[in-house]
Amino acid sequence: MVKNYVHCETCERDVFLGRKNFDKMYDEVLVFLILTGVGILIYLILRYSKKPNTCPNCESEFDLNNLPAPKAPIPLNQNSHTHKVV
């Protein structure tokens, strides 16, 4: 039969045999690291799981080889820096 309760001569206490527990600070750090790792993993899965040929609003898929011509040219924003205003 194995003894689980012994007297430690170094600290002069009766103790239960077992592994030393983490301090509270280490528990909080471990939980933080696990949650951030899981959060980053979920973000990457959601970010890269969508195909690049889908509409960002309704998520309908487009055939990139047979796209129809746009009905009207897309107007440039007046505040954009792509053109100069004289």
The predicted model scores a pTM of: 0.45
Residue 43: alpha-carbon gap to chain centroid: 4
pLDDT of residue 60: 78
CA 18, 19, 24, 28 torsion: positive or negative? negative
* Strand 5-8 relative to strand 13-16, pairing: antiparallel
Spatial distance between the Cα atoms of 40 and 44, rounded to a whole number of angstroms = 6
Asked whether residue 72 carries a pLDDT value surpassing 80, the answer given is no
Predicted confidence (pLDDT) at residue 24 exceeds the cutoff of 70: yes
Terminal C-alpha separation, the chain:
94
Percentage of the chain beyond pLDDT 70 is 78
65: left (phi over 0), alpha (psi -120 to 50) or beta: alpha
* pLDDT value at 39 more than 60: yes
Average pLDDT over residues 43-59: 80
